[in-house]
Amino acid sequence: MLGICNAVNPSYIYNLQSPNLQSSYIYNLKSSIYNRQSIILLSDFIFPGFMALLPDYGDTNDPNVRAKYGKLEAKVGLVGNTLVFVGKLLLAIMVASVAILGDSLNHLMDIVVSGVILYSFIVAAKPADVHHPYGHGRAESILAIIVSFLVIAMGVLVIHEALSSLDSPSISADLSTVLLMLVFTAVKIFLALFAFSVARKIDSTAIRADAWNHLSDSMISIAVAVGVAITVLFPAYKILDPVLAIGIGLFVIVVGIKLVYDSAYSLMGNAPDKATLEAVEKCARQVPGVINVHGIEIHEYGAFKAINMHVRVAETMGAKDAHEIAENVEKAIRETFKTRPLVHIDPVKRHCDQCELDMIEGIAKTFSGVISVHKAMLQHTGDGSIVDMHVLIDGKTSVEKGHKLVHDIMTKVNETFPDHRIDIHLEPCTGNCPACAEECERKGSA
C-alpha cells in the first residue's frame, strides 16, 4: 500500500502562513512597522524553554486539541489583563495621569478581547454539520476581525481622553509610579510571549492578533513610563502626558488596522505559496500511473485544510484502474499532509511525447538529490524510444552518489517505460545556473 510520500516535508501544508517559508503571509507583511517574523520567534530566542510552558494536549490538527490551546491562552489573558487593568486604573487615579488612564482603559478592552477569543475557540471546535461541512474553523478569522476593530476603538477612546486634558494637564507622580509601570509592562510581555508561543503551536490568526496586541500594549506602557519619568524629573513638561496619550492612541489605531487587514486576508482565502504547491504535486506524482498534476487548490478552515487537484492518467486506462489511482493519490496526500484531498481524473493520450516527458521528469524529481530537470527530449526509434535529459544536482555531490542517483532514476523510469533508453546528464549546481536559477536559489538558501 502507498504510504506517506518520500522526500516531502509535511510542515509545508501546516505552514502556509509560516515565516519559515518566507512566501506569503498573512503575517509577514513587508509594509509592517515591525519585523513580525522576529517577534514571533522571540519566545525561542529570549527564553529557550518558553515553549515548554505549554502543556501537551496532543495532535494540534485535532480541532478539540486546538480549542484547548486557544482557551488556555484566552484564560491566561483574562487573568493577566484583569490584574494589569485594575492596577493601572488605581495608579492613574492616584497620580492623576491621563496617559496611564488611557493605558488602563486599553487593558479593559483587552479583557473583552480575551473573552472573544475564548468564545471563538469554543465555536471553532464544534464538529462539522450539514450547514458547515468543513467545520467552524473560520470562526477564528471572523472573531479576529472583531478583536481588531475593538483595538481600533480603544485607540480612538484613548485619543478622546487625551484631547480633553490638553488644556489643563495635571499629574502628581513620582519614580515609584515609573517602577510600577515597568512591572505592569513585564506582565504584558509575558502574556505576549505566551500568546506567540500558542499561536505558533497551533498556527492561529486570532491568537497571533492577540499576541501582537499584548506586545503593542507593552510598548505603550514603556512609552508611558518614560513620559511619566520625564514629567517627574522636569515638571514643566506636564503637557507631555496628554501628548504622549495621543501618540499611544494613534499607534493603537495603526496596529488595529493592520490586524484587520491580516485577518480579512486569511478569511478571504490566501493562495498557497509555490513551495507548498510543489510539495503537494511531488507527492501526487509519486503514485504509479500519474502522468502529471495540475489545478491544485488549497482551502483553509482553521486547522482543517482541504486540497483539490486534477490528475492526468492515460485515456486508455479503465475506470477501475483510474479510480484506484485517484484513491492512491488521495491516500498519499492525506497521510502526508493530514488533510482532506479530492482528486479529479483527467484522461490524456498516453503516447503523446510531452505527456511522456512530463511523467519522466516527474519521476526524476521525486528523488531527494534532484534539484531540477531540464532539456528533456524524446526520440522514437524502431526498437523503442530514447529519452535524453539534464538533471541538476548539488555541486557537492560525490561521483559515487551521482552514479547511484542516475541508476536509481533509470530503474524507476523503466518500471513505467520498459522500452525506453534513458540518457541522463548530471549537472552540478554551483550557484550560477541560468537554466534553473530559481531552483538553485532555493537550494542555496535551504
* pLDDT tens-digit series, residues 100-118: 887 787 788 788 888 878 8
How is residue 288 annotated by DSSP? T
Nearest to 413 by CA among 393, 391, 434: 391
Task: Dump pLDDT digits (tens) for 159-172.
Answer: 877 777 676 655 66
More confident residue, 29 or 154: 154
| Residues 144 and 286 placed together within one structural domain of the fold | no
Overall average pLDDT of the 48-56 stretch: 68
Which CATH number does the domain housing residue 305 bear? Answer: 3.30.70.1350
Same domain, yes or no, for 278 and 374? no
- Residues 82-94, mean pLDDT to the nearest whole number: 90
Region 419-445 average pLDDT: 66
Q: Are residues 188 and 257 in the same domain?
A: yes
169 secondary structure, DSSP code: -
| Residue 6 within a domain | no
CA angle 103, 104, 106 (to 5 degrees): 65
pLDDT over 50 at 318, yes or no: yes
Q: Band of the pLDDT at 50, cuts 50, 70, 90? A: low
pLDDT on residue 86: 94
Q: Report d(CA 315, CA 31) in Å as an integer.
A: 49
| Separation CA 253–CA 216 (nearest Å) | 11
DSSP notation for 8-35: --THHHHTTT-TTT-S--TT--TT-SS-
Residue 49: pLDDT band by 50, 70, 90 thresholds?
A: low
Residues contacting 434, CB < 8 A, separation 6+: none
User: Are residues 405 and 335 both part of a single domain?
Assistant: no
Do 371 and 417 fall within a single domain? yes
CA separation for the pair 47, 136 (Å, rounded):
34
| Residues near 240 by beta carbon (within 8 Å), at least 6 away in sequence | 227, 230, 231
**Residue 296 pLDDT > 70, yes or no?**
yes
* 73-82, 220-229, 261-270: range with lowest mean pLDDT: 261-270
Instruction: Specify the DSSP class assigned to residue 434.
Output: G
Residue linked to cell 480633553: 164
Q: Provide mean pLDDT across the span 338-361.
A: 79
The model's confidence at residue 87, banded by pLDDT at 50, 70 and 90, is very high
Give me the CATH number covering residue 169.
1.20.1510.10
Share of the chain above pLDDT 90, in %: 12
Comparing 122-131, 218-227, 387-396, 418-427, the range with the smallest average pLDDT is 122-131
User: Where is average pLDDT lowest: 82-86, 247-251, 308-312?
Assistant: 247-251
pLDDT of residue 419: 79
Give the three cell numbers for residue 82. 484583569
* Reported pTM: 0.52
163 & 219 share domain: yes
Residue where a domain terminates, one of 332, 350, 368: 350
Among 305, 294, 293, CA closest to 336: 305
Indicate if 324 and 203 belong to the same structural domain: no
Residues 328 and 386 in one domain: no
Say if residue 71 is in the same domain as residue 157: yes
**Confidence label for 446 from pLDDT (cuts 50, 70 and 90):** very low
In a domain, 196, yes or no: yes
DSSP assignment letter at 383: T
Same domain, 320 and 200: no
Which residues form the domain of 390? Answer: 360-446
φ, ψ dihedrals at 135, nearest 5°: 85, -170
Burial code (b: 16+ CB inside 10 Å, e: under 16) for 154-170 equals bbebbbebbeebeeebe
Name the 3-class secondary structure at 177. helix
What value does the mean pLDDT take over residues 376-390?
Answer: 82
How remote is the C-alpha of 360 from its chain's centroid? Answer: 33
